[in-house]
């Protein structure tokens, strides 16, 4: 038996183990099939009894008698589509980065299965890596054309999963701009269910993270990719459920020349008994094996952003007055948003001209130094993948734009895209943004992307390759920029939340979660995001009331309570704050900083149901369980006799905790002491929270309360007794 920690090859069996799961594959006469994926088996005796009449292939092919969605779609130059990729060998190999694409890191070895289609000499490699402590397995699939003629790839799976049973549900996270990642559950019945994005990005509409689940059995899948994606699930009469995830085959047709390879985006898969556990595995995995660099575990600064305070209407004086208050209230980073460059006085012009709008800023280098002199870090907004036709860049280089000859381009937010599939355009974007960073010594970059892709065209590449070539171009730029500026904190933003995916998180440890900052909506947006992504990746800001997106009003306390579930910021005209509000915000920031390690990097559990129901919220527990913070949210006031309760989670059931809550002005009010067991198992009454909001000031608000749990030491407990 060939064996490396976590990976075993025994005759025709291949075993991958993580701390709590086992995945067993078998070479069954040339086809590799799933025998087992589930809770860890420490003994594999009898595994052959789990072989199956109806094989559960790791990759279904066309023309082999498979009557469901085939994972791999290949067209040969004679027009035929049949492949018969047969198992050739298995090897344990050193872990390798995927060429041209972002991927996970931190493993030493992988299991590689190799397949050959004898007539065409097409080779397939499926490489599995087990991430032990996260209970995640990553799968990287690639194809190599060993023949003499080009081969056309119509669909290349990142992963195919096949499980026994056909009573699963398919869970997806869907929405739109300002309403991202609402959880949906679809019963998998007859026919296919599809979760897909074809807008050129991972999208606001359908996140690539999905699950299939039934009681006691959950499989979670995500893709390390930011472009078009598709996940298809399908059950059959033989009692199997199949999931295939990868790049969307929409407008995909890749010419694989002789001697060339194609690398599919990495897929990551987790098995757990419950949806919450699967989600915790995924989040642990993202924190450890996706987010990287200096900011991986480093406390993220509390920022102030001028967007909702000023939109395009600002000058240096206004920015400096905002920065004064930002420093006074204890913020650490000031972010200058859209409007500082070119002739950018509105969203009709200027994109592409990454030069100072000197009349407004007085020079970004000078402005940045003045902001730093106030004790703040300086960050700046860019939207590098776009151009306005009213810009010097477009006038000089119209050929850089993504346009189809002789066709009017589709404009969104008055802008068109740059053709990042073209290496020359990649070079321009890289140099322009590097210059901006150097000019103002930026310590933070907000990388925006405010439209979807429509006019895909590049004269030098095949049209079926465009979407993916764009992504490769983008990743190339990001790879170089992040390597050149390792200290800069990058935050990805695609109109807020339009590219919340593992691909972007490989370069940018944070993502602006949504443009919707309404606390009530943020509860479900953040809970849906937390299904797959840890809170340290989620930008969450307190903004003004009535809220600019929804017109709802909520107390400042509630807005903070919700935002402290992610990386805190304020997006607000701070110069208009009353003294009382300023004090309240200063205390919020000071509280957040005191508990920042816990809030940003602790283990976060969701409470209640953020998508429907009477209550929701979170509890974040420190690794040693000595401290926890919970925010409970009651979306609407119910009649007085209606009791709302919760069980907390993740606490040390053997310990006793001092329980307090934060009142409206930031004082910690002691409630008493309670055992971890009682807090986790008992129903803690929450409807008293209704008393917290001044309903004369805020009509129909949401109700929240922040609780702090601190372990009482055994010694102190004894003294008290
Ligand atoms: C969309 C972003 O999500 C906003 O925060 C802001 O940066 C605007 N773009 C600026 O145009």
Contact 687 CB / ligand 1 (< 6 Å) = no
Distance 513 CA to ligand 1 centre (A): 11
Helix (H/G/I), strand (E/B), else coil: 685: strand
Nearest C-alpha to atom 4 of ligand 1 is from which residue? 495
Nearest C-alpha to atom 2 of ligand 1 is from which residue? 495
* Closest ligand 1 atom number to CA of residue 446: 7
Cβ burial of 659 (10 Å; 0-12, 13-18, 19+) is buried
485 neighbors 380 (Cβ within 8 angstroms) = no
Distance 448 CA to ligand 1 centre (A): 7
Nearest C-alpha to atom 11 of ligand 1 is from which residue? 338
Cβ burial of 718 (10 Å; 0-12, 13-18, 19+) is exposed
Distance 92 CA to ligand 1 centre (A): 46
Distance 450 CA to ligand 1 centre (A): 8
Contact 381 CB / ligand 1 (< 6 Å) = yes
Q: Which of 450, 497, 549 to mutate to test the pocket of ligand 1 (most atoms within 8 A of CB)?
A: 450
600 cis-preceded (ω within 30 degrees of 0): no
* Closest ligand 1 atom number to CA of residue 381: 7
Nearest C-alpha to atom 10 of ligand 1 is from which residue? 338
Distance CA 408, CA 22 (A): 54
CA 596 to chain CA centroid, nearest Å: 21
Nearest C-alpha to atom 3 of ligand 1 is from which residue? 495
* Closest ligand 1 atom number to CA of residue 307: 6
* Closest ligand 1 atom number to CA of residue 493: 3
pLDDT of residue 109: 97
42-54 pLDDT per residue, tens = 899 999 998 888 8
Nearest C-alpha to atom 1 of ligand 1 is from which residue? 495
pLDDT of residue 238: 87
* Closest ligand 1 atom number to CA of residue 413: 11
336-388 pLDDT per residue, tens = 999 999 999 999 999 999 999 999 999 999 999 999 999 999 999 999 999 99
pLDDT of residue 720: 58
203 neighbors 227 (Cβ within 8 angstroms) = no
Distance 311 CA to ligand 1 centre (A): 9
| Average pLDDT per block of 10 residues along the chain, 721 residues long | 71 95 96 96 91 89 84 97 96 97 98 98 98 98 98 98 96 98 95 96 98 98 98 93 97 98 98 98 98 98 98 98 98 98 98 96 98 98 98 98 97 98 98 98 98 94 93 98 98 97 98 98 98 98 96 95 98 96 97 98 97 94 98 90 93 98 92 97 91 83 96 70 54
Nearest C-alpha to atom 9 of ligand 1 is from which residue? 495
616-668 pLDDT per residue, tens = 999 999 999 999 999 999 999 888 778 999 999 999 999 999 999 999 889 99
Distance 495 CA to ligand 1 centre (A): 6
Contact 608 CB / ligand 1 (< 6 Å) = no
66 neighbors 60 (Cβ within 8 angstroms) = yes
305-316 pLDDT per residue, tens = 999 999 999 999
Contact 309 CB / ligand 1 (< 6 Å) = no
Distance 28 CA to ligand 1 centre (A): 53
270 neighbors 129 (Cβ within 8 angstroms) = no
Nearest C-alpha to atom 6 of ligand 1 is from which residue? 307
**Pick the catalytic residue: 337, 448, 521, 561?**
448
Distance CA 159, CA 269 (A): 9
Distance CA 543, CA 556 (A): 9
Q: Which of 310, 379, 381, 494 to mutate to test the pocket of ligand 1 (most atoms within 8 A of CB)?
A: 381
Active site residue 652: no
Q: Which two tokens stand for residue 410?
A: 């589709």
pLDDT of residue 713: 79
Give the E-state strand segments of 80-216 in sequence order.
Answer: 86-94, 109-117, 122-131, 136-145, 151-155, 157-164, 169-174, 182-187, 192-197, 210-214
Contact 496 CB / ligand 1 (< 6 Å) = yes
Helix (H/G/I), strand (E/B), else coil: 572: coil
Distance 494 CA to ligand 1 centre (A): 8
Indicate left, alpha or beta for 181 from its phi (over 0: left) and psi (-120 to 50: alpha): left
pLDDT of residue 642: 86
Distance CA 629, CA 562 (A): 12
Q: Which of 448, 452, 513, 514 to mutate to test the pocket of ligand 1 (most atoms within 8 A of CB)?
A: 448
Q: Which of 176, 309, 512, 516 to mutate to test the pocket of ligand 1 (most atoms within 8 A of CB)?
A: 512
Helices (H), 485-621: 502-505, 519-530, 556-563, 579-594, 596-601
3-state SS of 316-344? HHHHHHHHHHHHHCCCCEEEECCCCECCC
Active site residue 167: no
pLDDT of residue 54: 82
* Closest ligand 1 atom number to CA of residue 512: 3
Distance CA 676, CA 630 (A): 14
Distance CA 117, CA 670 (A): 69
DSSP string for 108-148: SEEEEEEEEETTTTEEEEEEEEEETTTTEEEEEEEEEE-SS
Distance CA 447, CA 354 (A): 13
Q: Which two tokens stand for residue 276?
A: 């919450």
Contact 512 CB / ligand 1 (< 6 Å) = yes
User: What are residue 43's phi and psi, to 5 degrees?
Assistant: -140, 125
Q: Which residue has the tokens 């009651």?
A: 634
pLDDT of residue 9: 78
Indicate left, alpha or beta for 44 from its phi (over 0: left) and psi (-120 to 50: alpha): alpha
Contact 340 CB / ligand 1 (< 6 Å) = no
b/e 613-642 (16+ beta carbons within 10 angstroms → b): ebbbbbbbbbeebbbbbbbbbbbebeeeee
pLDDT of residue 373: 98
Distance CA 119, CA 116 (A): 9
pLDDT of residue 715: 57
The helix (H) or strand (E) run that includes residue 369 is helix 364-373
Distant-in-sequence, close-in-space partners of 211: CB < 8 Å, separation ≥ 6 = 170, 171, 218, 219, 220, 221, 275, 278
Residue (of 177, 173, 250, 162) closest to 208 by Cα position: 173
Contact 450 CB / ligand 1 (< 6 Å) = yes
152-206 pLDDT per residue, tens = 999 999 999 999 999 999 999 999 999 999 999 999 988 899 999 999 999 999 9
pLDDT of residue 586: 97
Task: Return the bridge partners of 157, or none.
Answer: 246
pLDDT of residue 3: 66
């Amino acid at each position: 038996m060939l064996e490396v920690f976590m990976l075993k090859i025994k005759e025709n069996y291949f075993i991958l183990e993580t701390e709590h799961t086992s995945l067993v594959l078998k070479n069954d006469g040339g086809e590799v099939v799933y025998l087992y994926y589930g809770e860890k088996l420490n003994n594999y005796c009898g595994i052959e009894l789990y072989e199956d009449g109806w094989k559960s292939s790791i990759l279904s092919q066309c023309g082999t008698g498979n009557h469901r969605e085939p994972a791999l779609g290949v067209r040969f130059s004679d027009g035929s589509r049949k492949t018969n990729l047969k198992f050739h060998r298995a090897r344990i190999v050193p872990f390798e980065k995927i060429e041209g694409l972002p991927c996970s890191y931190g493993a030493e070895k992988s299991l590689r299965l190799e397949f050959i289609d004898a007539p065409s000499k097409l080779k397939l490699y499926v490489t599995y890596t087990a991430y032990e402590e996260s209970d995640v397995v990553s799968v990287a699939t690639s194809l190599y054309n060993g023949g003499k003629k080009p081969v056309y790839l119509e669909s290349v799976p990142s992963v195919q999963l096949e499980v026994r049973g056909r009573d699963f549900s398919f869970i997806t996270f869907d929405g739109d701009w300002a309403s991202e990642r609402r959880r949906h559950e679809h019963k998998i019945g007859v026919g296919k269910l599809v979760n897909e994005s074809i807008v050129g990005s991972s999208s606001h509409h359908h996140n690539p993270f999905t699950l299939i689940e039934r009681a006691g059995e959950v499989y979670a899948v995500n893709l390390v990719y930011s472009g078009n994606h598709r996940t298809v699930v399908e059950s059959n009469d033989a009692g199997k459920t199949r999931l295939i995830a990868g790049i969307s085959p929409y407008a995909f047709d890749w010419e694989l020349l002789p001697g060339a390879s194609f690398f599919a985006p990495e897929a990551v898969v987790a098995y757990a008994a419950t949806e919450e556990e699967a989600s915790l595995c995924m989040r642990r995995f993202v924190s450890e094996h996706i987010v990287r660099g200096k900011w991986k575990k480093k406390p993220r600064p509390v920022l102030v952003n001028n967007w909702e305070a000023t939109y395009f209407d600002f000058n240096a004086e206004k920015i400096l007055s905002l920065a004064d208050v930002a420093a006074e209230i204890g913020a650490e980073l000031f972010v200058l948003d859209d409007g500082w460059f070119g002739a950018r006085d509105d969203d009709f012009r200027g994109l592409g001209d990454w030069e100072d709008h000197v009349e407004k800023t007085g020079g970004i280098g000078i402005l940045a130094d003045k902001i730093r002199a106030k004790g703040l870090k300086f960050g700046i907004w860019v939207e590098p993948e776009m151009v306005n036709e009213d810009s010097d860049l477009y006038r000089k280089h119209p050929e850089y734009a993504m346009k189809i000859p002789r066709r009017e381009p589709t404009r969104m937010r008055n802008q068109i895209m740059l053709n990042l599939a073209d290496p020359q355009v990649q070079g321009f974007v890289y140099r322009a943004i590097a210059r901006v960073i150097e000019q103002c010594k930026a310590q933070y970059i907000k990388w925006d992307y405010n439209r979807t892709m429509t006019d895909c065209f590049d004269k030098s590449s095949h049209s079926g390759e465009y979407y993916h070539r764009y992504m490769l171009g983008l990743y190339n730029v990001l790879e170089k920029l992040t390597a050149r500026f390792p200290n800069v904190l990058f935050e990805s933003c695609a109109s807020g939340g339009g590219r919340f995916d593992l691909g972007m998180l490989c370069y940018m440890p944070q993502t602006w979660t949504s443009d919707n900052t309404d606390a009530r909506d943020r509860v479900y947006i953040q809970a849906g995001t937390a299904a797959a992504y840890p809170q340290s990746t989620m930008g969450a800001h307190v903004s003004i009331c009535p809220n600019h997106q929804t017109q709802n009003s909520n107390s400042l306390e509630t807005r903070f309570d919700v935002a402290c579930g992610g990386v805190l910021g304020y997006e607000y005209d701070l110069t208009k704050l009353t003294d009382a509000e300023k004090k309240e915000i200063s205390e919020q920031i000071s509280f957040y900083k005191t508990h920042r390690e816990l809030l940003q990097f602790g283990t976060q559990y969701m409470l209640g149901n953020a998508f429907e129901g009477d209550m929701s919220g979170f509890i974040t527990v420190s690794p040693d369980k000595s401290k926890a913070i919970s925010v409970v949210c009651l979306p609407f006031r119910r009649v007085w006799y209606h009791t709302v309760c919760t069980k907390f989670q993740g606490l040390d059931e053997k310990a006793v905790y001092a329980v307090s809550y934060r009142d409206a002005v930031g004082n910690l009010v002691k409630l008493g002491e309670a055992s971890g067991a009682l807090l986790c198992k008992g129903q803690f009454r929450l409807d008293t929270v209704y008393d917290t909001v001044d309903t004369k000031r805020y009509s129909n608000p949401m109700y929240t309360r922040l609780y702090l749990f601190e372990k009482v030491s055994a010694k102190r407990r004894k003294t008290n007794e």
